[in-house]
Amino acid sequence: MSSILLKSAKILDTESSHHLQTKDILVENGEITKIEDSIESADKIINRENLHVSNGFFDSSVSFGEPGFEERETLANGVTTARRSGFTSFLLNPNLNPVTDTNSAVKFLQQQIDTQLINIKPLGALTKSFDGKNLAELYDMKMAGAVGFYDFKKPIADANLFKIALQYVKSFDGLLFSFPQDKSIAGKAQVNEDEFTTYIGLKGIPNLAEELQIARDLYILEYTGGKLHIPNVSTKASVQLIKKAKAKGLNLTCSVALPHLFFTSNKLETFDSKYKILPPLRTKEDSKALTKAVKDRIIDMVTCDHEPMDEEHKELEFENASYGSIGLESAFSVMNTLFGIEKASELLSKPKTNFGLKTSKIEVNQRADLSLFDPNSEYIFQKQHLISKSKNSMFIGESLKGKVFGSIYNDSFYEN
């Protein structure tokens, strides 16, 4: 029998009768068997200063590189990165090579995932090879385990195709993701269109490009019914569109990426490619509106939008560099810095139920699915804190609050 004992852990779980209490927690063979004021012995004892524990962290947008882009990230190292960063479950984007767009591709990926000590659910592509023209094997991928369908950060330009896809997936309770950008408006611009980016001479993407796509998608969703998730919402007006759609009772969720809450386009002053992401960093006004929408629960979830990119594609002049930033290692600290520990732990654990992932309370006889951390530790986030194979983090050099000690999932423990 393997056992893990957490000593003097403050519990953060609003569904638990022990919420905000400091207790000893015993995990045996992947199950919580005791929660008491004092427990004496176990095979492994974790006794950390200011130890806090919550439900295992979850993220709705994580990219790795295997298969096809192993130079960016492998599955094994990606899982280690996630687990040591407190994550016990997440959705894996289909932007691999080959693209995850068939039943066999999902099955292959799931077989590789099942060898890891983590709960990963794959997303399938919405169209074949992300071509935006031909629907992929949606039903077959759903049967193989895909929890949703998403052409990763590639908008669906064809409105009729999007309508047909929403109608089709209703028959098997499928979930569509739609990236909010109208390419005909965005053109080849790579940053936000605002006073600052105009001043430094960069051609910008107007907010209209996002808002027009969202408005179109919401009109179609109202017409067809079905389920829709809008990832990476990034403008003030987008929030208002989503708020009105939810008031109508549409089956709709959305997310915002942490960089859009923490940074603004002013960071582009040095033309540093680590700040090149999609959607682009927006204005302070947008960032404030997004943060308020998270607090008001108009935005359902916050994602670290973890997107590894190798130096060959990232360490280039700004206009030639690839989009993307990694975020798993810094996610808890950034969220804790922005929202405080109770809201951060809620945002990091509760959204998994939106995608049909099981959650367990911090109670006796429940499966162990736990994240361990100190919410008060302050530090400067540095390259040395990165576990990912790729190092393209825009949070390097930022003052953050809160450090993760590790995670327990079933009977496995990953420790920092």
56-355 is classed CATH 3.20.20.140: yes
What is the per-residue pLDDT for 350? Answer: 92
Is residue 127 very low, low, confident or very high in pLDDT (cuts 50, 70, 90)? very high
| Sequence spans of domains, the chain | 3-52+362-415, 56-355
What is the per-residue pLDDT for 1? Answer: 53
Average pLDDT over the chain, rounded to an integer: 97
What is the pTM (predicted TM-score) of this model?
Answer: 0.96
Structure-token pair, residue 174: 């499928």
Closest CA relative to residue 232, chosen from 304, 292, 298, 165 = 304
Catalytic residue among 13, 305, 369, 374: 305
Our answer to whether residue 131 is catalytic in this structure is: no
Q: Phi, psi (5° rounding) for residue 414?
A: -105, 125
Q: Phi, psi (5° rounding) for residue 182?
A: -90, 110
Interatomic CA distance for residues 413 and 44, integer angstroms: 10
Looking at CATH, the fold of the domain delimited by 3-52+362-415 is given as: Urease, subunit C; domain 1 (2.30.40)
Residue 152 contacts residue 95 (beta carbons within 8 Å): yes
Structure-token pair, residue 261: 């809450």
Structure-token pair, residue 231: 């990832």
Residue 121 contacts residue 87 (beta carbons within 8 Å): no
Give the rounded percent of residues in the chain with a pLDDT score beyond 90: 98
Is residue 206 very low, low, confident or very high in pLDDT (cuts 50, 70, 90)? very high
The three-state secondary structure class of 122 is: strand
Decide if pLDDT at 126 tops 90: yes
Per-residue pLDDT of 187-201, as tens digits, reads: 999 999 999 999 999
Residue 135 contacts residue 127 (beta carbons within 8 Å): yes
Closest CA relative to residue 258, chosen from 348, 320, 379 = 348
Interatomic CA distance for residues 258 and 281, integer angstroms: 10
Per-residue pLDDT of 129-146, as tens digits, reads: 999 999 999 999 999 999
- Torsion-angle region of residue 70: left (phi > 0), alpha (psi -120 to 50) or beta? alpha
Interatomic CA distance for residues 117 and 412, integer angstroms: 7
What is the per-residue pLDDT for 358? Answer: 84
Decide if pLDDT at 243 tops 80: yes
Interval 256-280 mean pLDDT: 97
Residue 61 contacts residue 305 (beta carbons within 8 Å): yes
Is residue 237 very low, low, confident or very high in pLDDT (cuts 50, 70, 90)? very high
Interatomic CA distance for residues 168 and 140, integer angstroms: 13
Per-residue pLDDT of 320-363, as tens digits, reads: 999 999 999 999 999 999 999 999 999 999 999 999 898 899 99
Is residue 2 very low, low, confident or very high in pLDDT (cuts 50, 70, 90)? confident
